[in-house]
Structure 1
Amino acid sequence: MAGAVLRGDEDLLTGRWGGLVVLAVVVSGCGNGDSMESFGGPTMGSSYSIKYVHRAGLPAPAEVQAQVETILDRIDRQMSTYRSDSDIERFNHLPADHCQDMPAPVLELVRVGQQLSQQSEGAYDLTVEPLLNLWGFGPQSRQEVVPSAEALTQVRQRVGYRHLRIEGEQLCKDAAVEVDFNSIAAGYAVDTIAARLEAMGIHDYLAEATGELKAAGRKLDGSPWRIALEEPRDDRQVAEKIIAVDHYAVSTSGDYRHYFQQDGRRYSHTFDARTGAPVSHALAAVTVIHPSALMADGLSTLLLILGPERGWDYAEKYAIGAFFVIRTDTGFVTRTNQAFERLSGAATQKKQ
């Protein structure tokens, strides 16, 4: 994940597959004492970045950063699959038929994941970590390789959202499943940070973590926060649309860069839990705009799993604003639904 890179008067923040670029003109200050503040750093194996308009009476920038990093540290301790002492990893190491007390945010994310699993008929699933490890994409993986049919059959016995249940403040399992929050944790983090900024009186901001974005209000010069949606190309950046965002989150999921090839076939890191294998359809990336960064994060992954036809139908059924990038023999084509156009509104424009 690329961090913030200054280029002229634009601060560029790239999304998970390089599909989002935040066009934020950096202005040092105004005559009334307001200023644009920014900070960031490493988080969740990637990076985070916060930009906001500092006005008189607001907490000092150092205090704002300290509160944001406290949130990120707490989420890491609760949900990271890359540290053995996190709440979710301690649960993942439990055998079948065991329960563990969990903090409320973990249970909240499990409930969201269960909802998305049910609505996608099991295609989206929080328990795919054993599959990710088997194919070489997970935190415990050794190498990227197509597994044997026998190994795949064995691992699939440890995958399935129906093996999870919540009992009071405990998370329980009836099979040796492992939970992976990578498809929703960053979105949850952005929502939590945004809520904290609002509570501190900061109402003009852009919050980003590992490519998940949420913006509210205006920049220092009064212009909106603008995000460019890019065509996935290695040679150069090609902006398909530029949207202005206010009190909405934007999430892009794609398989364009994280994949491997074996025997002439391409295998992406996006899995359909029902088959236990990477998806093989032509949908390269999906961008979702939603009031909740948590939901935008999860829904962009869900739509990518479902593919160009079923994903489109799902977005239409639930009125999800979605921007699809579809791979063809001659390049990429894009498709945008009415919900996306409505949510981005008149601020959406085609870049010439």
Structure 2
Amino acid sequence: MAGAVLRGDEDLLTGRWIGLVMLAGVLSACGNGDTLERFDGPTMGSRYSIQYVRHIATPGPKTVQDEVEQILAEVDRQLSTYRSDSDIERFNALPADSCQAMTGPVLELIRAGEQLSSQSDGAFDLTVEPLLNLWGFGPQSREEQVPSAEALAEARQRVGHGHLRIEGDRLCKDAAVEVDFNSIAAGYAVDRIAARLQALGIDSYLAEATGELKAVGHKPDGSPWRIALEEPRDDRQVAERVIEINGYGVSTSGDYRKYFEQGGKRYSHTFDARTGAPVLHNLASVTVIHPSAMMADGLSTLLLILGPEQAWDYAQKHGIGVFFVLRDGERFVSRTNDIFERMTRGKTNDH
């Protein structure tokens, strides 16, 4: 994954699936003494970046960075599928009919995953890690491949949110399922960071982790936070649409950063848990705007799984602001709803 690269007055960030260009100026000051502070660093196999407006009474970047990195370290200890000592990987290593005491945040994300699974008739699922590994996209993968019908049938026996249950402060499973929070963990981390920034008295900021972000307030000169959504291309980064954000989380999921081709077919890392296979429709990317960065993160994945028609109907039914990019032969076409347009004009989120 590429990290944050400063290019003139633009910050180029590559997330888990697609890049987001944050048109947010270099460090600057205004006549009222406010300054735009910025810092970044590694996290979750990628990068995080924070920009915030510092007033006289708000803390400096070193203090804020320490607070942010404490949150990211805690999230990694709890949710990472790439370290064997994380809370969730210790649970994943347990056999069927086991329980493990869990922290509140882990149980919160399990409940969020259950909600998204229920609302998508099981298409979205936090337990698809065996499928990811089998197809070559997961943390225990060996090679990208189309699996045999027998191997796929075996892996599907270990997939399904219905195999999980919460008993008090314990997470339990009745099958050898493995939980993977990658579809909501980064958005959750961004929400945690945003809450901490607010508690520190910071009322204008842009917080981003692995491509998931939340923007609140304005830059020191009063201009809005502007985000450029990237066109889904394999060869280079091209801005598809520039939006203004104030008070919302933004997440984009796409099928074109992690994929392989075999037998003339393209297989992406986005899985439909109901079939056990990658999606094959022409919806190339989905951007979601939501008050919660975690929900934006999960919903962008959910909608990408559902495909263009079902995803559009879902977004309209649930009042979700969406921006779709679809493949049409050799070109891309975009589609957005009125909710997205209202939410991306720099107006404050009043939720």
Report the identity percentage. Answer: 75
Of 299-308 and 55-64, more deviation after overlay is shown by 55-64
Match of 1:148 in 2: 148
Listed as ranges, the matches of 1:277-288 within 5 Å are 277-288=277-288
What code does the residue aligned with 1:61 have? P
Give me the whole-angstrom Cα distance separating, in 2, the residues matched to 1:10 and 1:242: 13
- Measured after TM superposition, the shift of residue 210 of structure 1 is 0.4
Describe the superposition over 1:44-80 as per-residue Cα deviations: whole angstroms up to 9, x where unpaired. 1111010111111212321111010000000000000
Q: Would you say the 8 A contact 2:226–2:242 is kept in 1? A: yes
Give me the whole-angstrom Cα distance separating, in 2, the residues matched to 1:77 and 1:277: 29
What code does the residue aligned with 1:296 have? A
Match of 1:243 in 2: 243
Of 19-28 and 107-116, more deviation after overlay is shown by 19-28
Give me the whole-angstrom Cα distance separating, in 2, the residues matched to 1:266 and 1:13: 26
- Measured after TM superposition, the shift of residue 34 of structure 1 is 2.2
What code does the residue aligned with 1:13 have? L
Provide TM-score, normalisation by structure 2. Answer: 0.96
Provide TM-score, normalisation by structure 1. Answer: 0.96
Give me the whole-angstrom Cα distance separating, in 1, the residues matched to 2:20 and 2:278: 24
Match of 1:80 in 2: 80
Match of 1:339 in 2: 339
Listed as ranges, the matches of 1:1-352 within 5 Å are 1-345=1-345
3-state SS of 2:344 partner: helix
- Measured after TM superposition, the shift of residue 236 of structure 1 is 4.1
- Measured after TM superposition, the shift of residue 14 of structure 1 is 3.1
Q: Would you say the 8 A contact 2:250–2:289 is kept in 1? A: yes
Describe the superposition over 1:141-172 as per-residue Cα deviations: whole angstroms up to 9, x where unpaired. 00001111111111110000000001110000
3-state SS of 1:17 partner: coil
Q: Would you say the 8 A contact 1:19–1:230 is kept in 2? A: yes
What code does the residue aligned with 1:268 have? S
Structure 1 regions of 5+ residues with no counterpart?
Answer: 348-352
Q: Would you say the 8 A contact 2:16–2:46 is kept in 1? A: no
Describe the superposition over 1:93-146 as per-residue Cα deviations: whole angstroms up to 9, x where unpaired. 010111100000000000000000000000000000000000000000000011
- Measured after TM superposition, the shift of residue 235 of structure 1 is 4.1
Give me the whole-angstrom Cα distance separating, in 1, the residues matched to 2:322 and 2:119: 17
What code does the residue aligned with 2:148 have? S
**Distance verdict in 2 for CA 1:324–1:19, change over 3 Å:** farther
Give me the whole-angstrom Cα distance separating, in 2, the residues matched to 1:234 and 1:180: 26
3-state SS of 2:202 partner: coil
Q: Would you say the 8 A contact 1:14–1:22 is kept in 2? A: no
Q: Would you say the 8 A contact 2:205–2:215 is kept in 1? A: yes
- Measured after TM superposition, the shift of residue 27 of structure 1 is 3.4
Of 7-16 and 196-205, more deviation after overlay is shown by 7-16
Give me the whole-angstrom Cα distance separating, in 2, the residues matched to 1:145 and 1:138: 12
Of 50-59 and 111-120, more deviation after overlay is shown by 50-59
**Distance verdict in 2 for CA 1:346–1:188, change over 3 Å:** closer
- Measured after TM superposition, the shift of residue 337 of structure 1 is 1.0
Give me the whole-angstrom Cα distance separating, in 1, the residues matched to 2:287 and 2:275: 24
**Distance verdict in 2 for CA 1:337–1:19, change over 3 Å:** farther
What code does the residue aligned with 1:317 have? K
Q: Would you say the 8 A contact 1:28–1:35 is kept in 2? A: yes
- Measured after TM superposition, the shift of residue 19 of structure 1 is 4.2
Give me the whole-angstrom Cα distance separating, in 2, the residues matched to 1:289 and 1:19: 16
3-state SS of 1:25 partner: coil
What code does the residue aligned with 2:28 have? S
3-state SS of 1:13 partner: strand
Q: Would you say the 8 A contact 1:27–1:220 is kept in 2? A: no
Q: Would you say the 8 A contact 1:183–1:298 is kept in 2? A: yes
Give me the whole-angstrom Cα distance separating, in 2, the residues matched to 1:92 and 1:340: 37
What code does the residue aligned with 1:163 have? H
What code does the residue aligned with 1:326 have? L
Match of 1:350 in 2: none
Give me the whole-angstrom Cα distance separating, in 1, the residues matched to 2:247 and 2:146: 42
CA RMSD of aligned residues (A): 1.3
Describe the superposition over 1:198-250 as per-residue Cα deviations: whole angstroms up to 9, x where unpaired. 00000110000000010001112211000112221244443332111011010
